[in-house]
């Protein structure tokens, strides 16, 4: 059996990768079981494996978040400890740093623990030290999504390997059937997909839109990993430019890519380093030119001037000038589109599935413990 543990049932990149891992490991002759935090309805609601929810609630109060999170992990540990379906030789598959309650359960019961490490909302401080210490103590193998992340978050004493992300086969089929267009009904559409957090570059996108208010042919779409209530809360004290439309989270992003002329990731590199960039890979599979931060995993996907460009979102004038130039350069965008789709083809699902299965197959399952 493989027991997967995750915290957020949302539509983020780390959740998408977990869906891919669960699907890839479905070909093995093993039972699968998913433990997921009880808040939200996202991509994991559609996974056809037995699912167990453990208590979790996010808090808007910063002072409470740590305590709520720690309590959720005690709930996860207890639920696992009481689950008699889990055989002694099961593998505990921990997705992201966060659900350490599952790793603790695996360590204390003698079951091997695999950590699949992605970007984490925990970026520094005591909580990060706690989570990385837990990885050091419990993990049998760490899987990183990029070499950049492996260098940025080394865990001494734990075997590690890099397995680059891949996309769902159905998504790829739809993307390859799409023909990129520079303009849609006369408009150059700029798309960003992100969580509604400042460090994800949302203020920078709004600022960019304001500087291009005199270009009615350039439009911005912001697809967020939040519901309408979250959107209302975020924009309660922020002015939304007229040339920006905000869309609530959805499990089907294809219509947004089909309508995009350019996809941007404006994460602030002084606050967060993107470890891979699933939305960038998705966009490139659709043949859409991209703008990404000059640090982190996206730089392993994008060669400047070939599939897109590296721009620090703090460089507002450079960002504005590049978007303007692309909006007025259809031939350049078509060339970028062709190269982007070709590069995306290197990150295929068969390669990913084979590497994930190999990682699981190489784990020594001794069993034992409490």
pLDDT band at 223 (very low <50, low <70, confident <90, very high): very high
Residue pLDDT, tens place only, 84-119: 999 999 999 999 999 999 999 999 999 999 999 986
Taking alpha carbons only, the member of 81, 122, 258, 71 closest to residue 179 is 258
Residue pLDDT, tens place only, 138-149: 999 999 998 888
pTM of the model: 0.80
Q: Is the confidence at residue 275, as pLDDT, over 90?
A: no
Q: Is the confidence at residue 120, as pLDDT, over 70?
A: no
Q: Which domains does the chain have, with CATH numbers?
A: 2-166+349-361 (3.40.50.2000), 170-344 (3.40.50.2000)
Tokens (6 digits) for 243: 């040339």
Mean pLDDT of the chain: 91
Question: Sheet of 218-224: strands edge to edge?
Answer: 244-247, 218-224, 188-194, 262-264, 290-292, 308-310
Q: Is the confidence at residue 19, as pLDDT, over 60?
A: yes
Residue pLDDT, tens place only, 21-48: 998 888 777 899 999 998 888 889 888 8
Cβ atoms of 280 and 220 within 8 Å: the answer is no
Handedness of CA 315, 282, 344, 259 (dihedral sign): negative
Whole-number pLDDT of residue 366: 61
Query: What are the φ/ψ torsions at residue 337 (nearest 5 degrees)?
Result: -60, -45
Residue pLDDT, tens place only, 198-222: 999 999 999 999 999 999 999 999 9
Q: Please report, to the nearest 10 degrees, the dihedral formed by the alpha carbons of residues 197, 200, 202, 207 taken in order.
A: 140
Tokens (6 digits) for 73: 């992990």
Mean pLDDT for 163-181 is 90
Whole-number pLDDT of residue 369: 55
Residue 130: how many other CB atoms lie within 10 Å: 14
Instruction: In whole angstroms, give the CA distance from residue 238 to residue 219.
Output: 19
Taking alpha carbons only, the member of 105, 84, 79 closest to residue 93 is 105
Taking alpha carbons only, the member of 118, 124, 83, 84 closest to residue 99 is 118
| Angle, helices 202-211/316-327, rounded to nearest 10 degrees | 60
């Amino acid at each position: 059996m493989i027991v997967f543990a995750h915290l957020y049932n949302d539509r983020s990149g780390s959740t998408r990768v977990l869906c891919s891992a669960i699907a890839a490991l479905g070909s093995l002759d093993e039972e699968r079981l998913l433990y997921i935090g009880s808040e939200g309805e996202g991509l994991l609601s559609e996974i056809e494996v037995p699912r167990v929810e453990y208590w979790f609630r996010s808090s808007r109060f910063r002072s409470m978040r740590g305590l709520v999170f720690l309590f959720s992990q005690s709930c996860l540990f207890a639920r696992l400890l009481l689950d008699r379906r889990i055989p002694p030789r099961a593998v505990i598959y921990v997705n992201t740093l966060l659900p350490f309650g599952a790793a603790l359960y695996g360590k204390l019961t003698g079951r091997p623990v695999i950590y699949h490490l992605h970007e984490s909302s925990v970026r520094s401080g005591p909580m990060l030290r706690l989570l990385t210490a837990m990885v050091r103590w419990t993990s049998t193998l760490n899987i990183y999504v990029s070499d950049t992340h492996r260098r940025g978050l080394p865990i001494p004493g734990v075997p590690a390997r890099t397995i680059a992300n891949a996309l769902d086969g159905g998504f790829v089929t739809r993307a390859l059937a799409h023909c990129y267009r520079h303009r849609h009904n006369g408009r150059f559409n700029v798309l960003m997909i992100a969580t509604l957090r400042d460090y994800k570059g949302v203020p920078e996108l709004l600022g960019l839109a304001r500087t291009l208010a005199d270009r009615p042919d350039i439009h911005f779409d912001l697809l967020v990993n939040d519901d309408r209530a979250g959107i209302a809360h975020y924009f309660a004290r922020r002015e939304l430019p007229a040339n920006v439309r905000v869309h609530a989270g959805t499990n089907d992003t294809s219509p947004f890519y089909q309508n995009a002329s350019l996809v941007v990731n404006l994460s602030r590199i002084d606050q967060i380093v993107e470890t891979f960039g699933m939305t960038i890979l998705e966009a490139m599979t659709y043949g859409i030119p991209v703008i990404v931060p000059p640090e982190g995993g996206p730089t392993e996907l994008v060669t400047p001037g070939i599939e897109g460009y590296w721009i620090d979102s703090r460089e507002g004038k450079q960002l504005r000038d590049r978007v303007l130039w692309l909006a007025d350069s259809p031939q350049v965008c078509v060339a970028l589109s062709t190269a982007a789709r070709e590069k995306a083809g290197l990150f295929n699902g068969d390669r990913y599935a084979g590497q994930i299965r190999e990682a699981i197959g190489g784990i020594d399952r001794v069993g034992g413990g409490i």
